[in-house]
Amino acid sequence: MSNLKTSLRMLCNNQDILGGIIITKDGMLIEAYAVENPMAEMLGALMSNVALVIKTSLHDLGHQDFHRYVIQSNKGRIYLVDLGKAVLIALTDLNVEAGKVNMALFQAANEIKKSGRIEV
């Protein structure tokens, strides 16, 4: 799991990113960084619902995976990145530079995939 932790730590070194977690498609927490439990578990469970809605709907439209989904609320943003059999989730404040965050997430997703710890 250390590779995943390292990837999450590197992601969270980005000043715009408050914390990150990796979950399985059914909401099981694989790894978390800077998000404490029970928040991490709760976030994982709720975001797996979101990922499930996206995946089932995209399947109806003839697609398997999504690239990313961003929930923007009045307090901040929750980013979801599809890793195939897992989902990377990152939390940010509201006023962040979306381009920078997307780049950091893209790099982290590639690192996680390369680590081979999650089958993608």
Partner 1 sequence: MKKTPGSEGEGFGTPEEYLNAAKSMRNMGEFDLALNVCDKGSAKFPNNSNIYILKAQILITKFKKVQKPDILKTALMALEKAIKLNPRSYLAKILASQIFLKGRAYKRARAVLLDVLKSLPDDEKARALLAEAEKHIEKKPKEEKEKAAPQKASSGKGASAEPGKDDVIVLAADISEADGVKTGEGGQWELDEKLVIDASEDTADDEARMAVFGDKLTMFGRLDGMQGIFIIDATGQPYKVINKKKLDENAIPSLVFNLFKASVAGASRTNFGSFQRGILVAPFGTIIIVNVFYATLALVVDNDANLATIEARIQRYLEEVSG
> What letter represents residue 15's amino acid?
Q
Q: Does 68 bind partner 1 (CB under 8 A)?
A: yes
CA-to-CA distance for 5 and 58, rounded, in angstroms?
30
Q: Are 25 and 119 in contact (CB under 8 A)?
A: no
Q: Encoding tokens for residue 85?
A: 């059999």
Cα angle 8, 76, 18; round to 5: 25
φ and ψ of 109, to 5 deg? -60, -40
Question: Which residue in this structure is represented by tokens 């995939």?
Answer: 113
Q: Does 10 bind partner 1 (CB under 8 A)?
A: no
Please tell me whether residue 61 binds partner 1 under the rule CB under 8 A: yes
Does residue 15 touch partner 1 according to CB under 8 A?
A: no
| Contacting residue, 13, 72, 85, 110, with partner 1 by CB under 8 A | 72
User: Tokens representing 71?
Assistant: 């929930």
Among residues 28, 85, 97, 98, the one that binds partner 1 under rule CB under 8 A = 98
Least distance between partner 1 and beta carbon 85 (Å): 18
Q: Which stretch binds partner 1 (CB under 8 A): 7-15, 52-60, 105-113?
A: 52-60
Q: Is residue 57 part of the contact set for partner 1 (CB under 8 A)?
A: yes
**Choices 1-9, 41-49, 111-119 (CB under 8 A): range interacting with partner 1:** 41-49
